[in-house]
Structure 1
Amino acid sequence: MRSIFSLLALGAVFPAVPVLAEPQPFLLDEIVLSGSLTPVPADGYARAYSVVTRAEIEARGLASVEDALRALPGLSVSTSGSSLTQIRIRGGEANHTLVLIDGIEASGGADSHVFSGFGTEDIERIEVLRGPQSVIYGSNASTGVVNIITRRAEPGRGHGGGIEVGNGAAGSAWVTQRGDRGGLALSLAARNDRGFDYSGDGGGKDGLDTRTATLTGDVAATETLRVGAILRRERLRYDYDAENPDWAATDADSYIVDAPLFGRRDGLRGALWAEHEAFDGRLTQRLQWQQSRDRASENDGPQRRGETQRLRYRASVGLDGRVSDARHLLNLLAERQRDTTSMAPDQRRQANAVALEYRARLDGLDVQAGLRHDDNRAFGDFTSWNIAASWQVPDMPLRLRGSAGTGLVNPSFTELFGGFGTIGNPDLRPEQNRSVDLGVDWQWAQGQVGLTWFRESLKDEIEFFATPSGDFSYRNQSGRSPRQGVELAARMDATEVLSLGASYTYLDAKNPDGSVEIRRPRHEAGLNATLALLEGRAQVSGDLRRVSGLWDTQFWGGFETRELPAYTVVNLAAAYDLTPNVRATARVVNLFDRSYSEVWGYASQGRTAYLGLQARW
């Protein structure tokens, strides 16, 4: 609580705007909120990124964040039961991707975020940054960042909500108000999904029951001072099946067996922020305090707790004018972070960091460069850097870009001190990533195509291994883990009523000994199409995803790493405007009822249909 009161006191001197989002939502389509210490104009951001908007989420019938991230260039999504969905970027591990919700870390205790039933009901947009982002965000942003931005207050008053039925039920409601001085937004959502049998044995369904509430607000205290807050609460109950007892499995069908197991997660995230403008807008200062708390347990057993607190101060100086439109901008960051967990109650992490970032917008040339120094009490100091540039070719709809940088991932508390049936290794070293990429973007009136080549190298990669005594622990691999690939994204308006999209990722990710990295497909392609009908009152959307070259370890027999069968999944979604304010929706997951696995032994969701209503006024 002392931290909260300290921020309130300091807020009278140093103020700011939401964590990564400006309070004016109409700017969202023109800037990349997450790509810098201050928002970056999209046409001047020189690094590889993707954005999934609210309009796309609704058109494609994307009910979860996991589904929204599938088939994005450079991303690999793997699900092993309702309790564990992991996101990997450019072949890195799941904990090499930092997940944020409105700029707040989505997991307390410096652990990787587990996606489980993360609905899209209150999401405004999702930004994905590919490549090292440690200069801006520190540890755990070694291969990229996923920033999930929730609904913000729009000018005037707005209300809305929705319901959906099909293999369970879901409901949501929201209300927003924005006036001349500030705004307030409240979103509530609940989903009781009956799920499906992850064991594939024809046993009981493994469902999810989620509840979320998000409250955001901001107010202009003076003409130059704006303050605000964000508060989000999440509650989740999930069912899961068991690994074959006594390691008696002999194949994929016998590895996971039906069992009435369940778990609970409870998360609380919040931030207080303030931003102040001085010298006619040439200087802005931002102070933000944020906290993430998580609690988890299985089968009413002991509860695990994790907490992360972060205090950030940022000063931005427009070297040749106002910060909002300066051609030369200098950002300074100072922050302190503290992580604790009940898994290691006597171990606390604290780190201090300073960073400097320079941005320039010249005639057709955009440049970003950053340097950060972390003073970490547990692992020593580390200096990360990045540099990026893009060039708009004169008289052509062609933009060339390139970037390079380094990233850092500190070992987790579990890796250091043990837990979940493993033995910790307190001698682990942080993982360090080095990256370079080159890209080209071609844009015309009806669409755009982006192509990126990347190469990354991970030093001291931490691996999970079996000790000679039969226990499981962690160790640093000797040498470097190389990763390289190609990312392609395309979107076009084929006609006035038909829009098309495509993505493709080629990834070659290996361990230092040359063996393939698991749960990272070599080839992943996506196609989607949206057709408007009845003068725009109706629309139909289809998604196709093809995955091949996916390897995983079989936890039976000789513990071999084998390739999973390739698979293709098709989803459909449709909507019809009953009135200007009420829309009927329908969607079908896995239209052709294909059986596939993203992780050995775990079954996939069969064909499932949903119907819903959405309202807004």
Structure 2
Amino acid sequence: MNRAKLMATAAVAALTATSATAQETHDLGEIIVSGGLTPISAEAYGRAASVLTAEEIEERGITTVQDALRAVPGLSVSGIGANYTQVRIRGAESNHTLILIDGIEAAGGDGEYILSGLEAVNINRIEVLRGPQSVYYGSNASAGVVNIITRKGGIGTEYGGSVEIGGGTTATAFVSTRTARGGLSLNLSDRDDAGYDFSGDGGEKDGTDRQTLILSGDFAVTEALTLGFTLRRADERYEFDSTSWMAVDSDGYVVDDPTQSSTRDEATGSVYADFSMLEGRLTHHLAYEKTDNEETYGGFATKTESEALKYRLSFGLDGQPAARADQMLNLLVENEQDSSSLNPAYKRETTSVALEYRGHYDSGLDIQAGLRRDDNKVFKDITTWTVGAAYTFANGVRLHGSAGTGSVNPTYFELFTNVTYGTPPFATTYLGNPNLTPETNRSFDLGVELPVFGGRGLVDVTYFNETLTDEIVSVMSGPGSYSFANQTGDSDRQGVEVSAELAATEALDLRLSYTYLDATDPAGTVEIRRPKHELGLGATLETFGGRGTVTADLRHVAGNYDTQFWGAYQTVKLPDYTTVDVAARYSLSDHVTLTGRVQNLFDADVMDVWGYAGRGQTAYVGLDARW
């Protein structure tokens, strides 16, 4: 709830999510696991970042990752219904955000990962890094990174599960066993979301049925060598509605259609080894990662694959173990290959080298700088860079700022697709363009973090400015036919991100998030699906003598635009809207908790994508058990 709890939870998460490189435990404060080539102290991190902990997710009644991300400043979350959700960071395209699950790329091959039904129950924390991260993560991290870190368990044996009914049925289970030398954990979830009618006409509900399994383990073979692995499988069947190219209004564009359904099959895995030398001053990390995703949509099946071999060396320059050195170097060497069934003859391969320096100085100044060179076999080679700095004053005020560049390669669909949707005379054909060049992004941000009310609250305000060059857009290439091209000129994005939290009383915590965004293309036209204003207000009240909590969250969205996919395909402003969600938890015993929540309490009309209705008022009740 408050910052002290956040810091404690984050420190534990960082230590359990990564292998130990020294035998002693040191209090490093709040940690950003994904903030560089190795975890970094939040106080030393110069970039803008947000962390959602398991405690906050539970108290607010958040059950899916996409709902959790809606409260993060700088993010725009929009969906074609509830099972095709896109995330945009600071007004960038959705495929410019890299989504990781336990540090592994969730999207196989290329392009974006579609958030759909990812359970939040067994998630330990979600880290959101805003601004270019290509130095550390390569292509598709041009705008930022979302890392979803699942629960691993603590020392001893833990097990439990949850069940919830209402607008659907969800069941989860967790079991882990861990000693000082390592452990195993198993996460299971089954989500059968009855859904709602995406067309908004009150017709057949469009649901989602998803099962997920995550198995993780690690073991310290010796004091210097640790081995580990992570495996994830997810299978999903989801329903959606048809669209009419003869529509004359939003009600007529999305048409209720009970025959439409598709599937997703996801598999990710990694194996790794950590080895330390010189009493932890020099550490080595070797990992192999693989992602296979297969999806059927509209009668077409697409399979994408990616695999990466990564070696990382960390060295404490000041004679301290690398995990807690004030001066350190990280070196990454990586080879990544990917492919897509959209063109079986086409494969990408990139060999990359990245170098990162971190320095902490007694004056209170922290510096983080990185440089990366990508040797691309298909595209031209590219170099990206990043630098961030943070300075903390004696009174707790912290200044932070960063600058850097990122890149995004064209997707297989943009390069090589040749597909037709619909039937004549209403068919639409998309043709790829193999002459596309990568998009590039350059960015800077400046922010200040202010403790308020005697340290009971914290306010962070950040200004950001980003410029996208060679943006890839769809262009009409003939009657009913579209292709893709690099735009001439720059797409500009700037704005302000505000986050605040306050322990108003011993029992009441308040929070605020706000984003102002000005995003335009080279012609000065507003970019679609990127609201100008997003405001979140929340409160959590501890009740029943500490046995329960009641939480309310308000979200207001204004200034959102989208394209009407009929007639002249003009860009129009979508209606502003405000939603309120409420949730409550009550501990029936030390191990069993009763939960309840209502989404969209006042049944507001919601539209994030033109023609698609948002979910109306929906209630749920459940039980959560842990031992």
Give the structure-1-normalised TM-score.
Answer: 0.95
Match of 1:526 in 2: 536
Match of 1:181 in 2: 181
2:13 is equivalent to residue 22 of structure 1: no
Contact 2:29 2:41 in 1 (8 A): no
Match of 2:438 in 1: 430
Match of 1:478 in 2: 488
How far, CA to CA, are the matches of 2:72 and 2:167 in structure 1?
27
SS in 2 for 1:535: helix
Match of 2:4 in 1: none
Note the C-alpha offset of 1:443: 2.3
Match of 1:268 in 2: 267
Please list every run of at least 4 consecutive aligned residues from structure 1 whose deviation after the TM superposition is greater than 4 angstroms.
Answer: 17-20, 23-29
Q: 1:257 to 1:28 in 2, by over 3 A?
A: farther
Note the C-alpha offset of 1:30: 1.9
Aligned to 2:252, which of 251, 254, 266? 254
Contact 1:20 1:39 in 2 (8 A): no
Amino acid at match of 2:433: N
2:349 is equivalent to residue 350 of structure 1: yes
Match of 2:473 in 1: 463
Amino acid at match of 1:84: Y
Note the C-alpha offset of 1:507: 0.3
How far, CA to CA, are the matches of 1:264 and 1:18 in structure 2?
34
Match of 1:140 in 2: 140
Amino acid at match of 2:351: N
How far, CA to CA, are the matches of 2:72 and 2:159 in structure 1?
31
Note the C-alpha offset of 1:467: 1.9
Note the C-alpha offset of 1:472: 1.3
How far, CA to CA, are the matches of 1:424 and 1:18 in structure 2?
42
Match of 2:571 in 1: 561
Aligned to 2:501, which of 474, 491, 507? 491
Match of 2:311 in 1: 313
2:527 is equivalent to residue 517 of structure 1: yes
Aligned pairs (5 A) from 1:517-596: 517-596=527-606
Note the C-alpha offset of 1:28: 9.7
Amino acid at match of 2:484: Y
Q: 1:418 to 1:498 in 2, by over 3 A?
A: same
Contact 2:28 2:41 in 1 (8 A): no
Note the C-alpha offset of 1:302: 4.5
Match of 1:304 in 2: 302
SS in 2 for 1:126: strand
Note the C-alpha offset of 1:168: 1.9
Note the C-alpha offset of 1:160: 0.8
Note the C-alpha offset of 1:512: 0.4
How far, CA to CA, are the matches of 2:543 and 2:482 in structure 1?
57
Amino acid at match of 1:443: P
1:262-288: CA deviation from partner (whole Å, max 9, x where unpaired): 000000000001100001111000001
SS in 2 for 1:307: strand
Match of 1:63 in 2: 63
Point out where structure 2 has 5 or more consecutive residues left out of the alignment. 1-12, 421-429
Contact 2:331 2:353 in 1 (8 A): yes
Note the C-alpha offset of 1:315: 0.2
Contact 1:18 1:229 in 2 (8 A): no
Match of 2:149 in 1: 149
SS in 1 for 2:435: coil
Q: 1:93 to 1:29 in 2, by over 3 A?
A: farther
Aligned pairs (5 A) from 1:40-119: 40-119=40-119
Contact 2:14 2:39 in 1 (8 A): no
Aligned pairs (5 A) from 1:102-251: 102-244=102-244, 247-251=245-249
Aligned to 1:611, which of 593, 596, 621? 621
Taking only aligned residues, the RMSD between alpha carbons, in angstroms, comes to 1.6
1:135-180: CA deviation from partner (whole Å, max 9, x where unpaired): 0000000000000000113111101100000022110110011112
Contact 1:19 1:103 in 2 (8 A): no
More displaced 10-residue stretch of structure 1: 505-514 or 321-330: 321-330
Match of 1:381 in 2: 381
Amino acid at match of 1:410: N
Note the C-alpha offset of 1:468: 3.2
Amino acid at match of 1:475: A
How far, CA to CA, are the matches of 2:113 and 2:463 in structure 1?
27
Q: 1:30 to 1:199 in 2, by over 3 A?
A: same
Match of 2:9 in 1: none
Note the C-alpha offset of 1:50: 0.3
1:476-522: CA deviation from partner (whole Å, max 9, x where unpaired): 10011111000000011000000000000000000001000000000
Q: 1:599 to 1:295 in 2, by over 3 A?
A: same
Contact 2:16 2:152 in 1 (8 A): no
Contact 1:23 1:152 in 2 (8 A): no
Note the C-alpha offset of 1:19: 12
Match of 1:10 in 2: none
Note the C-alpha offset of 1:193: 0.7
Contact 2:73 2:499 in 1 (8 A): yes
Q: 1:235 to 1:27 in 2, by over 3 A?
A: farther
Note the C-alpha offset of 1:29: 6.9
Q: How many residues align?
A: 597
Contact 2:440 2:469 in 1 (8 A): yes
Contact 1:571 1:587 in 2 (8 A): yes
Contact 2:96 2:142 in 1 (8 A): yes
SS in 1 for 2:17: coil
Aligned pairs (5 A) from 1:434-449: 434-444=442-452, 445-449=455-459
Match of 1:412 in 2: 411
1:409-468: CA deviation from partner (whole Å, max 9, x where unpaired): 000000000155310000111000000000000125212110000100000000122223
Identity %, equivalent residues: 51
How far, CA to CA, are the matches of 2:488 and 2:253 in structure 1?
31
Q: 1:173 to 1:44 in 2, by over 3 A?
A: same
Contact 1:285 1:316 in 2 (8 A): yes
How far, CA to CA, are the matches of 1:20 and 1:382 in structure 2?
35
Note the C-alpha offset of 1:530: 0.2
Match of 1:372 in 2: 372
SS in 1 for 2:431: coil
How far, CA to CA, are the matches of 2:626 and 2:126 in structure 1?
21
How far, CA to CA, are the matches of 1:200 and 1:473 in structure 2?
31
Amino acid at match of 2:528: I
Contact 1:19 1:102 in 2 (8 A): no
How far, CA to CA, are the matches of 1:316 and 1:441 in structure 2?
29
How far, CA to CA, are the matches of 1:298 and 1:37 in structure 2?
36
Q: 1:23 to 1:285 in 2, by over 3 A?
A: closer
How far, CA to CA, are the matches of 1:516 and 1:302 in structure 2?
32
SS in 1 for 2:382: strand
How far, CA to CA, are the matches of 1:419 and 1:59 in structure 2?
47
SS in 2 for 1:259: coil
Give the structure-2-normalised TM-score.
Answer: 0.93
Contact 1:236 1:266 in 2 (8 A): yes
How far, CA to CA, are the matches of 1:42 and 1:18 in structure 2?
11
SS in 2 for 1:67: helix
1:277-304: CA deviation from partner (whole Å, max 9, x where unpaired): 00111100000100000011136x4532
SS in 2 for 1:414: helix
Contact 2:64 2:119 in 1 (8 A): yes
Q: 1:208 to 1:141 in 2, by over 3 A?
A: same
SS in 1 for 2:458: strand
How far, CA to CA, are the matches of 1:597 and 1:377 in structure 2?
42
Contact 2:58 2:121 in 1 (8 A): no
